[in-house]
Amino acid sequence: MSTRTVAAPIAVAFLTAVGLFAATQRPDRPAPRPAAQLAPPPASDGRVLLSDAQRREAAASGTWLQDIRSLLPVGERLEYGDYLWDDVPENGGEVWVRVDLRTQLLSVFRGGHEIGSAVVLYGADSKETPLGTFPILWKGRNHRSSLYDAEMPYTMRLTGDGVAIHGSDVRWGAATHGCIGTPTEFAAKLFEIAKVGTRVLIVRSDPPSAPTIRTS
């Protein structure tokens, strides 16, 4: 399923994260339309190809686990509860996950190609989502939290104290107790391809720098 799914499109968020767009993307307000000439060219299959310069800049940022070659094409901004999914299993390569708490976007990659993207929920101030790289420790299709007495479908546990990616009712104003909540249908798709040991990188990207204004 590919749904038009309040975060910036992943291609824009990616370029913002590596400093190629100046506009700050916020999931609770509209984002300015980026300049069309800054967007990387589309691939023949509709994917967005990154230039060599963009790939080098992303690698230098230290917020990506692997070299990124293509992103999913997104025509409009993603909204809470929406997601995109377009797997390319024939490309092979490692499956890994990137979560950016600033943009509230989770991206799934296979062999350098983005295959899934969703707007997510994350931990409230009282129980923040940890940053870092975490292997999936355990998977449970029909898990229920004994601590919070809540359904957590398609749980992929990341830490010993229970932080996990799982299906959730992703809506504006909601938060978790440290977990990453994704739309349940998206969580089901990720659950099928992720394995125990799959790496999940959780970052909080820096906001884009404001442009320098010359006064003389």
Over the stretch 153-210, which tens digit does the pLDDT of each residue have? 999 999 999 899 999 999 988 888 889 999 999 999 999 999 999 999 999 998 876 5
> Does residue 133 have a pLDDT over 50?
yes
> Does residue 125 have a pLDDT over 70?
yes
3-state helix, strand, coil in the chain (%, to 5): 15, 30, 55
- Catalytic residue, from 113, 143, 166, 177: name it: 166
Q: Are strands 138-145 and 150-157 parallel, antiparallel or unpaired?
A: antiparallel
Q: Looking at 119-207, list the stretches that DSSP marks H as alpha helix, in order from N- to C-terminal side.
A: 184-193
Question: Higher confidence at residue 33 or residue 67?
Answer: 67
Is position 173 within any domain?
yes
Is position 208 within any domain?
no
Report yes or no on whether pTM surpasses 0.75.
yes
Q: Which positions ≥6 away from 187 have C-beta within 8 Å?
A: 153, 154, 165, 166, 167, 168
Range of the domain at 192: 10-203
Is position 166 within any domain?
yes
> Does 166 participate in catalysis according to the annotation?
yes
Is position 212 within any domain?
no
Is position 2 within any domain?
no
Q: How far is CA 32 from the centre of its chain?
A: 20
Residue 136, domain CATH: 2.40.440.10
- In angstroms, the CA 28 to CA 22 distance is 18
Is position 216 within any domain?
no
Is position 1 within any domain?
no
- Catalytic residue, from 113, 143, 177, 179: name it: 179
**Tens digits of residue pLDDT in 73-112:** 987 888 999 999 998 777 688 999 999 999 999 999 998 9
The residue written with tokens 């997601």 in the block is 83
DSSP state of 39: S
> Does residue 18 have a pLDDT over 60?
no
Any idea what the Cα angle at residue 12 is, between residues 6 and 16, rounded to 5°?
105
Number of domains in the chain: 1
> Does 113 participate in catalysis according to the annotation?
no
Q: What is the mean pLDDT of residues 120-132?
A: 89
| pLDDT attached to residue 1 | 40
| pLDDT attached to residue 6 | 37
Q: Are 88 and 193 in contact (CB under 8 A)?
A: no
Is position 164 within any domain?
yes
Q: Which positions ≥6 away from 75 have C-beta within 8 Å?
A: 4, 9
